């Protein structure tokens, strides 16, 4: 038997096997990704995106100290998990990009869960439920329903990237939008007082705050029946299931212990926590 005829094929096979393991090791090195969850608990630090939005998140104008019941909640979670919170300010337009880029690990901005947003971020279980209101001038009698705004001769002020902005884009195709940069929706509502807009769309909390500030000048035509009832949540990146599960578990624990309501009451917040309170069919409320 010719030794060369045996040796050469064996060498080729050996090289092929070595190449296979080499490529496998290379591929493994390329595909390895440290999740945000692992990174947080390895470094014992978490980057938290926030938007000033009383009473969930407040900021002292002088000391810049953060407060509000969402701040108390995330601090309690970090305390019990032995991780350091690092707060990073964002806005409604940029919070999802901040999660995608890894600028922060979680956004605690009180964000309305919507279908378009759910494509970009993963939401925690709802912390409470809220609706939207519409500010118009006190003597304006043109509007009674949302459809009344869907006219080309009407200008509506909205905050860029807000749920009210998304709602108007999807449901009011004819209205002229006056889009203002965020995050302060009260500044958007000022457009009604200035006459630059016929109406201002915002969350019910801000519209009520604005009416309380200017009771003789404006009204919220949906103060008793907020439209577009929506759950409010925190969010993480869509590819972080472990982190999402961690926050859902943490929030569930604090809710069960009564701490979420404790923080809300301390902040003088009065949110709805059961969807059934908005149902029109009274038979369902039993």
For residue range 189-205, list pLDDT tens digits in order. 999 999 999 999 998 88
Reduced to 3 states, what is the DSSP secondary structure of residue 128?
strand
pLDDT tens for each residue of 141-177: 999 999 999 999 999 999 998 889 999 999 999 999 9
Q: Check if the beta carbon of residue 208 is closer than 8 Å to that of residue 215.
A: no
Q: What is the pLDDT of residue 135?
A: 97
Q: What is the mean pLDDT of residues 43-56?
A: 96
Angle formed at CA 269 by CA 264 and CA 272, multiple of 5 degrees: 90
CB < 8 Å & 24+ apart, contacts of 245-250: 246/37, 247/77, 247/106, 247/124, 248/124, 248/125, 250/77, 250/80, 250/81
Is 9 a residue whose pLDDT tops 80? Answer: no
Q: What is the pLDDT of residue 31?
A: 53
Q: Tell me where in the chain the CATH 3.40.190.10 domain(s) lie.
A: 36-128+230-275, 130-228
At 79, give phi and psi (nearest 5°).
-60, -50
Is 280 a residue whose pLDDT tops 90? Answer: no
Task: State the fold for domain 130-228.
Answer: D-Maltodextrin-Binding Protein; domain 2 (3.40.190)
| Residue range 36-128+230-275 in CATH 3.30.390.50 | no
First to last CA, the chain: 92
Is 271 a residue whose pLDDT tops 90? Answer: no
The rounded distance, in Å, linking the Cα atoms of 69 and 58 is 9
Is 276 a residue whose pLDDT tops 60? Answer: no
Q: What is the pLDDT of residue 5?
A: 53
pLDDT tens for each residue of 94-142: 999 999 999 999 999 999 998 889 999 999 999 999 889 999 999 999 9
pLDDT bracket for residue 11 (50, 70, 90) = very low
pLDDT tens for each residue of 66-86: 999 999 999 999 999 999 999
The rounded distance, in Å, linking the Cα atoms of 210 and 32 is 51
DSSP H helical ranges for 65-156:
69-81, 95-101, 115-120
Is 23 a residue whose pLDDT tops 60? Answer: no
Q: What is the pLDDT of residue 32?
A: 67
């Amino acid at each position: 038997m010719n030794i060369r005829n045996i040796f050469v094929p064996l060498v080729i096979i050996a090289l092929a096997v070595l190449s296979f393991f080499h490529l496998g090791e290379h591929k493994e090195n390329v595909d390895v990704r440290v999740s945000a969850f692992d990174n947080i608990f390895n470094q014992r630090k978490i980057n938290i995106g926030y938007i000033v939005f009383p009473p969930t998140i407040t900021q002292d104008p002088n000391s810049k100290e953060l407060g509000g019941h969402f701040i108390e909640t995330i601090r309690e979670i970090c305390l019990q998990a032995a991780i350091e919170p690092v707060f990073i300010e964002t806005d409604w337009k940029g919070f999802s990009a901040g999660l995608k880029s890894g600028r922060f690990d979680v956004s605690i901005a009180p964000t309305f869960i919507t279908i378009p947003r759910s494509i970009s971020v993963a939401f925690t279980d709802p912390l409470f439920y809220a609706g939207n209101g519409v500010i118009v001038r006190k003597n304006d009698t043109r509007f009674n329903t949302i459809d009344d705004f869907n006219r080309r001769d009407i200008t509506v002020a909205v905050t860029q990237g807000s749920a009210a902005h998304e709602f108007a884009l999807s449901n009011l195709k004819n209205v002229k939008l006056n889009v203002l940069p965020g995050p302060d929706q009260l500044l958007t509502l000022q457009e009604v007082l200035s006459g630059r807009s016929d109406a201002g769309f915002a969350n019910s909390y801000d519209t009520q705050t604005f009416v309380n500030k200017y009771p003789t000048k404006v009204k919220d035509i949906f103060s008793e029946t907020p439209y577009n009832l929506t759950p409010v949540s925190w969010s993480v990146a869509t590819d972080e299931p472990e982190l999402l599960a961690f926050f859902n578990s943490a929030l569930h624990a604090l809710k069960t212990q009564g701490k979420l309501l404790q923080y809300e009451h301390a902040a003088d917040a009065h949110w709805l926590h059961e969807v059934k309170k908005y149902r029109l069919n009274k038979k369902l409320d039993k």
